[in-house]
Structure 1
Amino acid sequence: MASLGIAVALFFHVLVFSVTGADSATFTIVNSCSFTVWPGILSGAGTAPLSTTGFALDPGASTSVTVPASWSGRLWGRTLCSQDPATGKFACLTGDCGSSTLECSGSGATPPATLAEFTLNGAGGLDFYDVSLVDGYNLPMLVVPRGGAASGAGNCTATGCAADLNVGCPQELKVTSAGSEGGVACKSACGAFGDPQYCCSGFYGSPDTCRPSQYSEFFKRACPKAYSYAYDDGSSTFTCASADYEITFCPKPSTSVKAAGGEYAMLAAEVSGGVASSSWTPPLWTVAVAVSATVWQLRRLF
Structure 2
Amino acid sequence: MAGNGSFWVQIMPAILFLQLLFRAVGTDGASSFSFANDCQYPVWVGVLSGATSPPLARSGFYLPPSGTFQLAAPSSGSWSGTFWARTGCAVDSSTGRFSCATADCGSGDVACNGRGPSPPVTLAEITLASPGSGGQDFYDVSLVDGFNVPVRLSPSGGSAGECRAVACAGDVNAACPSDLRVVVAGSGGVVACRSACDAYRSARYCCTGEYGSPAACGPTNYSQVFKTACPAAYSYAYDDASSTFTCVGASNYDVTFCPRT
Q: Which residue, out of 15, 18, 22, partners 1:9?
A: 18
Q: Which residue of 1 aligns with 2:141?
A: 131
Residue of structure 1 equivalent to 2:159: 149
Summarize deviations over 1:231-259 as a string: whole Å, max 9, x none: 0000100011131110000001xxxxxxx
- The answer on 1:81 being equivalent to 2:111 is no
Please give the per-residue CA displacement for 1:51-73, whole angstroms capped at 9, x wherever unaligned.
10001100000000011152101
5+ long unaligned stretches in structure 1: 253-269, 271-302
SS in 1 for 2:117: coil
Q: CA RMSD in A?
A: 1.5
Q: Which runs of 5+ in 2 are unaligned?
A: 1-8
Question: What is the distance in 2 between the residues matched to 1:144 and 1:86?
Answer: 41
Is the 8 Å Cα contact of residues 150 and 257 (structure 2) preserved in structure 1?
A: yes
Higher helix share: 1
| 1:182 CA displacement | 2.0
Aligned partners of 1:25 and 1:242 also within 8 Å: no
Question: By how many angstroms is 1:85 displaced?
Answer: 1.6
Q: Where does residue 257 of structure 1 map in the other structure?
A: none
Paired position in structure 2 for 1:193: 200
Give the Å deviation of 1:26.
0.8
For 1:178 and 1:87, locate their aligned partners in 2 and report how far apart those are by CA, in whole Å: 21
Return the alpha-carbon distance in structure 2 between the equivalents of residues 222 and 86 of structure 1. Answer: 40
Is structure 2 residue 123 aligned with structure 1 residue 115? yes
Determine the structure 2 residue equivalent to 1:65.
71
- CA-CA distance at 1:14 after TM superposition: 0.6
> Percent identity over the alignment?
50
In 2, distance between residues paired with 1:129 and 1:17? 22
Q: Deviations over 1:191-238 (max 9, x none)?
A: 111111000000000011111000101100110100000000001000
Whether the aligned pair in 1 keeps the contact of 2:154 and 2:165 (CA below 8 Å) is: yes
How many residues of Structure 1 are paired with residues of Structure 2 in the alignment?
A: 247
Q: Is 1:203 equivalent to 2:210 in the alignment?
A: yes
Aligned residues of 1:167 and 1:182 also touching (Cα < 8 A): no
Matched with 2:38 is 32
Q: Which residue of 1 aligns with 2:150?
A: 140
Question: Which residue of 1 is the match for residue 111 of structure 2?
Answer: 103
Equivalent pair of 2:175/2:225 in contact (CA under 8 Å): no
How many angstroms does 1:167 deviate by? 1.4
Q: Structure 1-normalised TM-score?
A: 0.79
- Between the aligned partners of 1:182 and 1:84, the Cα distance in structure 2 is 22
SS in 1 for 2:53: coil
Give 1:197-276 correspondences, 5 Å limit: 197-243=204-250, 244-252=252-260, 270=261
Deviation at 1:7, TM superposition (A): 2.1
Within the alignment, does 1:41 sit opposite 2:47 as a pair?
yes
- Secondary structure at the residue paired with 1:6? helix
Q: Partner letter of residue 9 of structure 1? A: L
- Please say which structure displays the higher CA radius of gyration: 2
